[in-house]
Amino acid sequence: MKTFNYILVLVMLLSASSCDLNEVPVDTGTNEAIFGSESGMELYANSFYDLLPGTDVGVFQDDDNSDLVARNGVDNYLAPNALSPITSSGWTWTGLRNINYFIENAEKSTVPTKTHFIGVARFFRALFYFDKVKRFGDVPWIEKPIDIMDTTQLNAPRDSRFDVMDKVLADLNYAIENITLANDASRTLITKNVARAYKTRICLFEASFRKYHKNDATANTWYGEVVKEANAITGFTLHAGAAADRGYRELFIAKSPYTDETILSVALSSNLQVFSSANRRFISPTYGNRPSLTRRFVNTYLNLDGTPFTSKAGYATTPFVDEVKDRDLRLKQTIRLGDYRRTENGTPVIAPPNFSQTYTGYQPIKWCYDERFPFDDESRNDNAHIVMRWAEVLLNKAEALAELNTITAADWTATIGALRKRAGITGATLTTLPTVADPYMLTFFANKFTNPVLLEVLRERGVELIFEGLRPDDLRRWKLGDLFASAPMNGMYVPALGEYDLNADGIKDVCFYQGTKPPSTTPTIAFVDVSPSTAVGRLQLSNGTSGEVMWNPGARQWTEAKYLYPIPQAVRDRNPALGQNPLW
């Protein structure tokens, strides 16, 4: 629905938007044309869709700031001393004013279908507040347009996040009860099932936050809401694809979303000039963050027989060509492996990992078209931007059941087992609950979790949802923020300096060297200087002249304060009653 930005012009005629709570809009036009007809309310409600994730950078870039991805540079969120009350942002309330104005007037309407549109509005209000609570914790709950003379509201303190999230839950429940649209073939509209799916995401976050940050007894109630709503969703299944080694990736490069698994997407269109920059941000050596998966994370992909890769003797020193064999099929659908092929102006080309573009050797292809031109060089991607799919709902349900300690073998088979089956994995792991914790996963999560079932659910969550924008929130809700800064940006294992063929086609693809760049007979080879250095922006080998590729993006810093952003100082200057978040 972001293609319909012209609707905002209509909204501006109805009410000017504010950027802060003490800048109060004034109605400038009659509302009869809008709230006196179903078509008018539908048109207005379309403006709320601007609250969905933007498409240019998209959800695919959010995971760049996580423990699973090596990236160019360090965001202000993690750079030492960069985030402060002076630099903090996000305290904007424009969208809320628009929603509350609609709800207030729609409730007075005589249109018989008004509750459907109020349900859509309250769904978006829930999303708005969920975002604010994640970012700031306690925030003021406002459910009516504020009058310019309402100094009590304008100068009020913040409300407890617990109270606000209770109201978010009430909004979601109202939306589920009153939205009448059950199915939407375009997968771009808010339906009853979309509201249910988002409720599983929101309730899982809140349950985890209450458990791991507050040790609050109500956490289990929220986990229960996840399970209840996941069970109520109907009409979706995992996308199988034309072949087992393509179905997963097909989801992310389709122009029109696959309706079997996609619950909600944002439409892109070359005809309307609405694009994303997925190819450029993943592939261009000069544009965006140049994200690459870390070896620490790649190690969590299971073998095809369902056993952990890290249970193999010598796994830590296994070269790239061998370590990617017989692995979870999602690995080859997420990064370039030996058999990956691209096209340049339609001409097929062999495309092994390109160290002119990747820091670790684990080069992403998820979300990226296989054609180079014009997508690598221009922001021209028009593949559908998926923001919610059935796989996430299954993972949300499995995690909630594991946390409640009520998961059964049947639950496991229908959630984690189903996801692994699509990924080509075989064996008992598809139907049998694990009873022994994988030592690698214990360490991976800093011994935060010891339940073997939960650890495997979290393994699956990382693998299935990588580059879908959920990992940073996961780390925060699990209270594992330390991993933002401590997780190594490590890459493939290099036995010694020299040239390597990364796809076993007889052509050398990369040369690791120190000192003077050596000559090579391969014109397309990428040269990587791993001379000893502590400089930012340099690659090293962990053992000097051998070992894992190690990327140095710059210093990263984590503090307990960063679980919440500080309230911007300019906002507090206008309303000191807002106070400040802990440790800021």
Residue that has been written with the tokens 């048109």 in this structure? 43
Tokens (6 digits) for 356: 């002119």
Sorted by where each begins, the domain ranges of the chain are 491-552
pLDDT of residue 16: 36
Whether the pLDDT of residue 464 is over 50: the answer is: yes
* pTM across the whole model: 0.95
Q: How confident is the prediction for the chain on average, in pLDDT?
A: 93
Phi, psi of 87, deg, nearest 5: -95, -10
Q: Band of the pLDDT at 20, cuts 50, 70, 90?
A: low
pLDDT of residue 242: 85
pLDDT of residue 55: 87
- Crossing angle of helices 161-178 and 192-212, in 10° steps, is 160
pLDDT of residue 11: 40
Mode of pairing for the β-strands spanning 538-541 and 547-552: antiparallel
Whether the pLDDT of residue 479 is over 60: the answer is: yes
Q: With CA atoms as reference, report the closest residue to 252 among 331, 191, 183, 333.
A: 333
The Cβ-side half-sphere exposure at 211, using a 13 Å CA radius, reads 19
State which H helix or E strand residue 512 sits in.
strand 510-513
* Mean pLDDT for the stretch of residues 341-357: 95
Please give the sequence-ordered ranges of beta strands (E in DSSP) within 229-374, or none if there are none. 262-266, 292-293, 341-344, 347-350
pLDDT of residue 14: 42
HEC sequence for 448-512: CCCCHHHHHHHHHHHHHHCCCCCHHHHHHHCCCCHHHHHCCCEEEEECCCEEECCCCCCCCCEEE
Tokens (6 digits) for 557: 């810093």
* Mean pLDDT for the stretch of residues 392-412: 98
Q: What share of the chain is helix, strand, coil (3-state, %, to 5)?
A: 40, 10, 50
What's the chain's Rg over C-alpha atoms? Answer: 25
Cβ pair 65, 481 in contact under 8 A: no
Rounded Cα distance between 486 and 67, Å, is: 8
- Flag the least confident range among 161-170, 238-247, 445-454: 238-247
Bridge partner residues of 539 (DSSP): 551
Residue that has been written with the tokens 């699973």 in this structure? 68
Residues sharing a CB contact under 8 Å with residue 431, sequence separation 6 or more, in sequence order: 409, 412, 413, 417
Q: Band of the pLDDT at 56, cuts 50, 70, 90?
A: confident
Residue 523: other Cβ atoms inside 10 A: 5
Q: Band of the pLDDT at 148, cuts 50, 70, 90?
A: low
Q: Band of the pLDDT at 64, cuts 50, 70, 90?
A: very high
Q: Band of the pLDDT at 150, cuts 50, 70, 90?
A: confident
Please list, residue by residue across 455-489, b when 16 or more beta carbons sit within 10 angstroms of its beta carbon and e when fewer do. Answer: bbbbbbbbbbbbbbbbbbbbbbbbbbbebbbebeb
Q: What is the pLDDT of residues 181-239, one digit of tens each?
A: 999 999 999 999 999 999 999 999 999 999 999 999 999 999 999 999 999 999 999 99
Maximum average pLDDT range among 54-63, 335-344, 362-371: 362-371
Rounded Cα distance between 205 and 474, Å, is: 8
State whether the Cα torsion 543-544-548-554 is positive or negative.
Answer: positive
| Sequence letter at residue 201 | R
Mode of pairing for the β-strands spanning 262-266 and 385-389: antiparallel
Rounded Cα distance between 106 and 560, Å, is: 43
Q: Please give the biggest Cα pair distance in the chain.
A: 79
Q: With CA atoms as reference, report the closest residue to 44 among 101, 129, 109.
A: 101
Rounded Cα distance between 544 and 353, Å, is: 22
Percent of the chain with pLDDT over 90: 89
State which H helix or E strand residue 457 sits in.
helix 452-465
Distances (CA, A) of 265 to 2, 78, 189: 10, 30, 8
Whether the pLDDT of residue 7 is over 80: the answer is: no
* Mean pLDDT for the stretch of residues 486-500: 98
Whether the pLDDT of residue 456 is over 90: the answer is: yes
| Sequence letter at residue 102 | F
Residues sharing a CB contact under 8 Å with residue 447, sequence separation 6 or more, in sequence order: none
Angle subtended at Cα 498 by Cα 497 and Cα 501, rounded to the nearest 5 degrees? 125
Sheet holding 490-494, edge to edge: 490-494, 547-552, 538-541
Rounded Cα distance between 575 and 156, Å, is: 8
DSSP three-state, residue 500: strand
Tokens (6 digits) for 480: 């594992």
Tokens (6 digits) for 493: 């294992």
Q: With CA atoms as reference, report the closest residue to 112 among 209, 38, 174.
A: 38
Residues sharing a CB contact under 8 Å with residue 181, sequence separation 6 or more, in sequence order: 116, 189, 190, 191, 192
Q: With CA atoms as reference, report the closest residue to 171 among 130, 224, 219, 205.
A: 130
Residues sharing a CB contact under 8 Å with residue 121, sequence separation 6 or more, in sequence order: 45, 48, 99, 102, 103, 106
